[in-house]
Amino acid sequence: MAKRTHIAIVGAGIFVKTQYIPRLSEISDLVSVKYLWSRSEESAGSAVEVARKNFPEVECKWGDAGLNDIMQDSSITAVAVVLAGQFQVDISLRLLKAGKHVIQDIVEAEKALLDYKIFCADSPSAPYWAVAENYRFEPGFTEGRKLVEELGDLMSVQVIVEGSMNSSNPYFSSSWRRNFTGGFILDMGVHMIAGLRLQLAGELSSVSAFTSHVDKNLPPPDTISSTFKLENGCPGTFVMVVSSSSPKIFWRVVGLNGAVQIERGNVNGQHGYVVRKVNADGQSKEAFYPFSGVTDELKMFLHNVNSEVSPKLNPQAYAYESQFKYEYSTFRQVGMLV
């Protein structure tokens, strides 16, 4: 059996409890969670209670003293930073400077990249900084990309996101998303752009958008309707409603040889994506792919800590997605191009 990698989790919120801890437990032959940190003892303790079911050795850490303990522990080679957007970058940079490999979700990507390059200076021995974007690892999107390549010249692209961010959603009351530039549009939309980019052979070259604020229970903006153009000239549309009474999410690509659609769904109690291809002759095929992106992403991170870096976890790729969604949510004038 391979030696397990000892890691710490910095953060104790919803995503840690419902995703990171359960997904890490699925690969406990590869990883051991030694510490779980939060800013307060109470918050860290609540997450430790969840983690101890699968990682009985996990210790509770909190505050500056706890973070210093993690940075000074030579047995900890990697840290998962799962914090509110306002705090992620500074803490991640502190951990990187302490020599820890880091995986995190990044919102202030451009500033973080600059700071990282300043102290790492492209050194081959620099700690590994990975960007958490599980959509890049979802098998439904991987299969969709292969099918899109069979479509020939592309004619149109659609992304429709009708979300379910209402009072029954555990993230609805998240304070940092309500006090963050771009709000739920940025936090949710960056994943949708990641899914879009994975489907397409080229990058986006321009975008224009309308945004509005309709549901006063949500921070502005809560809707966006936009058009974009790919570098190859293919046009597309991106429409997002943060909270809809009839949730629906799909990506659709139309080409000369047919169409491919990836739609979020539930089959036999499993959440995932239905991938459907329709050929030019009307023949079609479809398959269902359960969610596994977070697990596969964490496995890749652990692999990369001990070997070569995957481009799927590249900070610069995330910077592109984050910046594009930031521009979507902040430019409100009709026809403004970015």
Q: How many percent of the chain have pLDDT more than 90?
A: 57
Closest CA to 240 of 260, 258, 226: 226
The pTM of this model reads 0.84
Q: What is the reported pLDDT for 128?
A: 82
State the average pLDDT for the chain: 85
pLDDT exceeds cutoff 60 at 98 = yes
Per-residue pLDDT tens for 107-152?
Answer: 555 566 666 666 565 555 678 888 888 898 999 999 999 999 999 9
Peptide linkage before 311 cis (omega within 30 of 0): no
Tens-place pLDDT, residues 263-321: 999 999 999 999 999 999 999 999 999 999 999 999 999 998 887 666 666 665 555 55
What residues pair up with 35 in beta bridges, in sequence order?
Answer: 8, 59
Longest dimension (CA), the chain: 65
Given pLDDT bands bounded at 50, 70 and 90, which one contains residue 328? very low
Find out whether 225 and 239 touch, Cβ atoms under 8 Å. yes
Per-residue pLDDT reduced to its tens digit, 21-61: 999 999 999 999 999 999 999 999 999 999 999 999 999 99
Query: What's the confidence (pLDDT) of residue 337?
Result: 36
Residue pair 80/47 in contact (Cβ under 8 Å)? The answer is no
pLDDT of residue 335: 36
Q: Both ends of the chain: CA-CA distance in Å?
A: 51
Average pLDDT (172-194) is 76
Q: Give the pLDDT score at 116.
A: 63
- pLDDT at position 113 is 62
Query: Bridge-partner residues for 239, per DSSP?
Result: 160, 225
**What is the per-residue pLDDT for 322?**
55
Q: Which amino acid would we find at residue 27?
A: I
Would you state the pLDDT for residue 326? 46
Residue position matching structure tokens 């790919």: 230
Cβ atoms of 187 and 178 closer than 8 Å? no
* Opening angle at CA 337, ends 336 and 338, nearest 5: 125
DSSP 113-127: HHHHHHHHTT-TTSP
Residue for token pair 């799962």? 82
Where do the domains of the chain lie, and which CATH numbers do they carry? 5-132 (3.40.50.720), 135-293+322-330 (3.30.360.10)
Q: Residue 49: CB partners within 8 Å, gap ≥ 6?
A: none
Contacts 24+ apart (CB under 8 A), 16-20: 16/47, 16/82, 17/46, 17/47, 17/50, 18/170, 19/294, 20/80, 20/82, 20/294, 20/298
Q: Which of 102-111, 153-162, 174-183, 327-336 has the lowest mean pLDDT?
A: 327-336
